Amino acid sequence: DARVTQTPRHKVTEMGQEVTMRCQPILGHNTVFWYRQTMMQGLELLAYFRNRAPLDDSGMPKDRFSAEMPDATLATLKIQPSEPRDSAVYFCASALGGLAPREQYFGPGTRLTVT
């Protein structure tokens, strides 16, 4: 049963601390997305990778957020320093990339609370 996994599922941290979220995409999927979901803004695309290369991170605050894919089985999203406005649910999704947008498979999310 192939699925996207994310860790941790919940994270509570104090303002100023570094937060790292991890995602394991479905084996064989070559496109990975990071989204942030809040009540006010809905689901926002932060960044995405194709074959481990960043293709679009225009939705990400560059001064504090960074996203990487150290290898094909791991994607990370880091916030340093964290702020209360970063509180949200962060989702990772993976897909088989191609010439047209494909269905995306979402992980369960990391619920981040910054106090």
Partner 1 sequence: SQQGEEDPQALSIQEGENATMNCSYKTSINNLQWYRQNSGRGLVHLILIRSNEREKHSGRLRVTLDTSKKSSSLLITASRAADTASYFCATGYLLTQGGSEKLVFGKGMKLTVNP
Q: Which residues make up the interface to partner 1 (CB under 8 A)?
A: 4, 33, 35, 42-43, 45, 48, 50, 55-56, 91, 93, 97-109
Would strands 19-24 and 74-79 be described as parallel, antiparallel, or unpaired?
A: antiparallel
Give the 3-state secondary structure of residue 17.
coil
Q: Cα(33)–Cα(25) distance, rounded to whole angstroms?
A: 9
